[in-house]
């Protein structure tokens, strides 16, 4: 049985002046990917909890929030209260990962840890059993439109082996430079949630773009099987 491939268009690449229309264009996706940047952990500034609340009100898709912020311990409750369905926080930004995972679960949301490109997969050894998803950053976070880092493919395989060793099957999400051109590569290596920004919002026919990325991803899943 082939593993499903889920698509999460990133609103970081959307037209903010027409966000409700942009969200309507991606109704064939599986998640809305919501990048939170604070200008400290990464060199960019994006969305606060009120924008997430507005996205929830304008769209029926679950919101996959990625907190690229230096103080997730303080800000996480605000994004959970705003309606985030799945929350990733950066491993590098907290000394209390287990505490944050428990907080996310206590709010009825799913918990994920994001790893920057230079952070080894082995750092998740003691917490992988508690996670609903792992987000592998396939570019250095901070800006959209970057190119996929080839070393990410090896890292995905390492993460899949770690999951197999622990007998767990969290979702594995990739974010950065993902398109129909490399979707098969990342799904063959173990990913099953694909974040796509400019590859979806940068074209006119968003449903066709989502379908093309999903189809390419399923090709990689078939190779893995």
Tens digit of each residue's pLDDT (9 = 90 or more) over 138-162: 999 877 778 999 999 999 999 999 9
Give me the mean pLDDT over the 14-29 stretch.
Answer: 96
- Chain mean pLDDT for the chain: 95
pLDDT over 80 at 10, yes or no: yes
CB 139 within 8 A of CB 147: yes
Count Cβ atoms below 10 Å from residue 186 Cβ, excluding itself: 27
pLDDT over 90 at 39, yes or no: yes
CA–CA dist 193, 135 (Å, integer): 9
If residue 111 lies in a helix (H) or strand (E), which one and from where to where? Answer: strand 110-115
Q: What CATH number matches the domain at 6-224, 3.90.1150.10, 3.20.20.140, 1.10.3470.10, 3.20.20.70? A: 3.20.20.70
Q: Is 220 annotated as belonging to a binding site?
A: no
Residue 165's pLDDT is 98
pTM for the complete prediction? Answer: 0.96
Its sign, for the CA torsion 176, 180, 186, 192, is positive
CB 111 within 8 A of CB 104: yes
Give me the mean pLDDT over the 111-134 stretch.
Answer: 98
Q: Is 190 annotated as belonging to a binding site?
A: no
Domain ranges of the chain: 6-224
Whole-number Cα distances in Å, 50 to 84, 112, 121, 149: 11, 21, 33, 32
Q: Which two tokens stand for residue 222?
A: 């078939």
Q: Is 143 annotated as belonging to a binding site?
A: yes
pLDDT over 80 at 15, yes or no: yes
Q: Is 126 annotated as belonging to a binding site?
A: no
Q: Is 142 annotated as belonging to a binding site?
A: yes
Residue 2's pLDDT is 53
Tens digit of each residue's pLDDT (9 = 90 or more) over 88-118: 999 999 999 999 999 999 999 999 999 999 9
Residues in the chain: 225
pLDDT over 70 at 225, yes or no: no
CA–CA dist 187, 160 (Å, integer): 11
Residues in CB range of 48: below 8 A, 6 or more apart: 36, 78
Identify which of 68, 47, 155 has the alpha carbon closest to the alpha carbon of residue 114.
68
The 3-state DSSP composition of the chain as helix, strand, coil percent (nearest 5) reads: 45, 20, 35
Catalytic residues: 35, 175
Residue 141's pLDDT is 82
Tens digit of each residue's pLDDT (9 = 90 or more) over 53-73: 999 999 999 999 999 999 999
Give me the mean pLDDT over the 194-210 stretch.
Answer: 97
- Kindly indicate the confidence band of residue 1, based on its pLDDT and cuts at 50, 70 and 90: very low
Tens digit of each residue's pLDDT (9 = 90 or more) over 169-182: 999 999 999 999 99
Identify which of 145, 127, 135 has the alpha carbon closest to the alpha carbon of residue 186.
135
Q: What are phi and psi of 34, to 5 degrees?
A: -120, 100
Residue 224's pLDDT is 73
Whole-number Cα distances in Å, 56 to 6, 62, 110: 19, 8, 16
């Amino acid at each position: 049985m082939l593993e499903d491939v889920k698509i999460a268009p990133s609103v970081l690449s959307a037209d903010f002046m027409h966000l409700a229309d942009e969200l309507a264009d991606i109704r064939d996706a599986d998640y809305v990917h919501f990048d939170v940047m604070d200008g400290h952990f990464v060199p960019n500034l994006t969305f606060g909890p009120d924008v997430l609340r507005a996205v929830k009100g304008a769209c029926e898709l679950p919101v996959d929030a990625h907190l690229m912020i230096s103080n997730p311990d303080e800000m996480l409750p605000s994004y959970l209260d705003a309606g985030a369905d799945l929350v990733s926080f950066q491993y590098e930004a907290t000394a209390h990962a287990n505490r944050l995972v428990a907080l996310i679960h206590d709010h009825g949301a799913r918990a994920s840890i994001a790893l920057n490109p230079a952070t080894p997969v082995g750092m998740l050894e003691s917490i992988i059993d508690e996670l609903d998803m792992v987000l592998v950053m396939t570019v250095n976070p901070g800006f959209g439109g970057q190119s996929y880092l080839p070393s990410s493919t090896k890292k995905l395989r390492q993460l899949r082996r770690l999951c197999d060793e622990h007998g767990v099957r969290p979702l594995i999400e990739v974010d950065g430079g993902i398109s129909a051109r490399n979707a098969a590569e990342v799904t063959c290596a173990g990913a099953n949630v694909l974040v796509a920004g400019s590859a979806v919002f940068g074209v006119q026919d968003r449903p066709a773009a989502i379908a093309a990325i999903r189809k390419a991803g399923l090709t990689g899943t078939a190779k893995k099987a």
